[in-house]
Chains A and B, each alone.
Chain A
Amino acid sequence: MKFDRPATQNPIDRLKVVGQPLDRIDGPLKTTGTAPYAYEHHDVVADAAYGWTIGAGIAIGRITRMDLAEAERAPGVIAIVTADNAGLLGKGDHNTVRLLGGPDVQHYHQAVALVIAESFEQARAAAGLVKIDYAAEPGVFDLTAAKGSAIAPEPNELTGPVDTRIGDFAAAFAEAPVTLDATYTTPDHSHAMMEPHATLAAWEGDRLTVWTSNQMIAWATADLAKTLGIAPENVRVVSPFIGGGFGGKLFLRADVLLAALGARAARRPVKVALQRPLIANNTTHRPATIQRIRIGARRDGTITAIGHESWSGDQPGGGLETAVSQTRLLYAGANRMTAMRLAELHLPEGNAMRAPGEAPGMMALEIAMDEVAEKLEIDPVEFRIINDTSVDPENPERPFSARALAECLRQGAERFGWNRRDPRPGRTRDGRWLIGMGVAAAFRNNLLITSGARVRLDGTGQVTVETDMTDIGTGSYTIIAQTAAEMMGVPVERVTVRLGDSDFPVSAGSGGQFGANNSTAGVYAACVKLREEIARRLGFNSEAAEFENGEVRSGNRAMPIAAAAAEGDIVAEDKIEYGDLSERYQQSTFGGHFVEVGVDIATGEARIRRMLAVCAAGRILNPKSARSQVIGAMTMGAGAALMEELAVDTRRGFFVNHDLAGYEVPVHADIPHQDVIFVDETDPMSSPMKAKGVGELGICGVAAAVANAVYNATGVRVRDYPITLDKYLDRLPDVA
Chain B
Amino acid sequence: MTPFTYERAGSPAEAAAAAARTPGARFIAGGTNLLDLMKLQIETPAHLIDVNGLALDTIEATKDGGLRIGALVRNTALAADRRVRRDYALLSRALLAGASGQLRNKATTAGNLLQRTRCPYFYDTVQPCNKRRPGSGCAAIGGVSRQLAIIGTSEACIATHPSDMAVALRALDASVETVQADGAPRRIPLAEFHRLPGDTPHIETVLEPGELITAVRLPKPVGGRHIYRKVRDRASYAFALVSIGAILHEDGSGQVALGGVAHKPWRVEAAEAELPRGAKAAAEQILAGARPSRDNAFKITLVERTLAAVLAEARG
Which residues does A use to contact B, with CB under 8 Å? Answer: 57, 75, 121, 124-125, 128, 277, 432, 600-605, 607, 642-643, 647-649, 651-652, 656-659, 661-662, 664, 666-670, 722, 724-726, 729-730, 732, 735-736
Contact = CB atoms under 8 A, between A and B. Distances in A.
A652 B308 contact: no
Contacts of B39: 124
Interface in B192-237: 229, 231-237
Contact of B235 (A607, A652, A658): A607
Contacts of B135: none
A669 B144 contact: no
Contacts of B241: 725
Contacts of B1: 121, 124-125
Interface in B106-153: 118, 120-121, 123-124, 126-127, 139, 142-144, 146
A616 to B, nearest CB: 31
A346 B239 CA distance: 31
B305 A643 contact: no
Interface string B11-37: 000000000000000000000000000
Contact of B143 (A277, A642, A651): A651
A726 B306 contact: no
A618 B235 CA distance: 35
Contacts of A657: 120, 144
Contacts of A124: 1, 39, 41
A548 to B, nearest CB: 50
B300 to A, nearest CB: 10
B6 interface: no
Nearest to A120: B1
B235 A729 contact: no
Interface of B: 1-3, 39-41, 44, 118, 120-121, 123-124, 126-127, 139, 142-144, 146, 229, 231-239, 241, 279, 298, 301-302, 305-306, 308-309, 312
Given A57-B126, A75-B3, A602 B305 contact: yes
Nearest to A728: B298
Given A124-B1, A124-B41, A604-B305, 14 more contacts: A125-B41, A601-B309, A603-B229, A603-B305, A603-B306, A642-B233, A649-B144, A662-B120, A664-B238, A669-B237, A725-B233, A730-B298, A730-B301, A735-B305
Contacts of B298: 725-726, 729-730
Contacts of A277: 40, 123-124
Contact of B142 (A642, A651, A656, A658): A651
Contacts of A642: 233-234
A138 B118 CA distance: 28
Contacts of A670: 234-236
Contacts of A736: 308, 312
B274 to A, nearest CB: 17
A735 B301 contact: no
Pairs of residues from A and B, 3 with the lowest C-beta to C-beta distance, nearest first: A602-B309, A57-B126, A669-B235
Give the interface SS of chain A, mostly helix, strand, loop or mixed: loop
B146 A726 contact: yes
Contacts of B233: 605, 642-643, 664, 722, 724-725
B228 to A, nearest CB: 13
A659 B123 contact: yes
A658 B308 contact: no
Given A603-B302, A670-B234, A656 B121 contact: yes
A735 B308 contact: yes
Most buried by B among A277, A602, A604, A657: A602
A147 to B, nearest CB: 20
A250 B298 CA distance: 39
A724 B146 CA distance: 11
B2 A125 contact: yes
Contacts of A732: 305
A649 B127 CA distance: 12
A144 to B, nearest CB: 14
Nearest to A665: B234
A605 B3 contact: no
Contact of A729 (B127, B144, B305): B305
Contacts of A648: 144
A666 B234 contact: yes
Contacts of B2: 125, 128
B234 A602 contact: no
B213 to A, nearest CB: 25
10 contacts: A128-B41, A432-B309, A602-B308, A642-B233, A642-B234, A657-B144, A667-B235, A667-B237, A729-B301, A729-B302
Contact of A652 (B123, B127, B231): B127
A664 B120 CA distance: 13
Most buried by B among A664, A666, A735: A735
A642 B235 CA distance: 11
Contacts of B139: 649, 652
Given A649-B143, A664-B233, A656 B309 contact: no
B299 to A, nearest CB: 8
A726 B124 CA distance: 25
A674 to B, nearest CB: 15
A605 B232 contact: yes
Given A57-B126, A658-B124, A729-B298, A605 B231 contact: yes
Contacts of B41: 124-125, 128
A603 to B, nearest CB: 5
Contact of B144 (A125, A656, A722, A724): A656
A667 B127 CA distance: 29
A432 B309 CA distance: 9
